[in-house]
Structures are given as structure tokens and as C-alpha cells.
Amino acid sequence: MFLNFLIKKHECQHSRVPIDVDEAYCPDCGALIKNKWFLVRCGCCNIKRDAHIHYDEIEPDTKFCPNCGGTDFYIQELENPNFTDVRYAIFKKIIIPQQKQTTRQIWIEKEDNLLEERKLIGYRK
């Protein structure tokens, strides 16, 4: 178990996906990545709080709110952060699972003339 902690896992960090687009494919691994911005707010007084990502979860930096002392917080998803929200905004790249598309191909031949070319019709389900 301790050895697994020391071995570095080679997972794609999607560093070449640009920040200014909503969705893009990662050129390194081919996954569809959605860029999202989040804001952590106090559950009591609704003030913006500093936050960080810890084990892929968004958490506030301090346990207690510096304004009211409350421990409750909620995470607000932003479309695009404002100039005033940039200091508190958390940026996260989320992998969107893709559905596999199956393709079926059907050959159609005319029965009366066998020398005529075959036509390929594509069908996607």
C-alpha cells in the first residue's frame, strides 16, 4: 500500500487544453474536457471565501468564515468570472465521458444486374 503511494501515476493533466474555451479535446489523450469556474461562498453570510482543490474536491482554505465564524459553505458554479471574482475563483478541468457510436454498414445490390457497382449505405445508431 505504501509503495503505491510512492509510484507516480501517469495521468494526463490536460495542460495543453486552452482556458478560454468552454469545451475542447485534449491533444495529448483525446478526452473531451470542459472548463469550469467555481466560487466558494459562506453558507451563513454569503461572503466569498478563498479556496483550493484537495483530492479533486473544492474546499475553503480556512475551516471558519473570517466574517461570521460559520463553518457551512457552498460551491457556486460560474459561467465566466467577473473582474472582482477572479481572486476567489477556482478553475477546474472536468472530463466529459463520451458515448461510443456504433456504425453499421449495409451493402445493397440490384438483383437484375449483378455487374453494376455496389453501393455502401452508412447507418449510425
pLDDT tens, residue by residue, 42-100: 999 999 999 999 988 999 999 999 999 999 999 999 988 899 999 999 999 999 998 77
Confidence label for 105 from pLDDT (cuts 50, 70 and 90) = confident
pLDDT at 120 over 70: no
Residue 117 belongs to a domain: no
Confidence label for 16 from pLDDT (cuts 50, 70 and 90) = very high
Alpha helices in the chain (DSSP H): 2-6
Residue 64 belongs to a domain: yes
Q: How far apart are CA 26 and CA 14, in angstroms?
A: 6
Residue 108 belongs to a domain: no
The total number of structural domains in the chain stands at 1
Residue 103 belongs to a domain: no
pLDDT at 9 over 70: no
Residue 115 belongs to a domain: no
| Containing structural domain, residue 47 | 11-98
Yes or no: say if 31 and 95 are a contact pair by the CB < 8 Å rule: yes
Residue 63 belongs to a domain: yes
Spell 53-92 as b/e; 16+ CB within 10 A means b: eeeeeebbeeeebeeeeeeebeeeeeeebeeeeeebbbee
Residue 65 belongs to a domain: yes
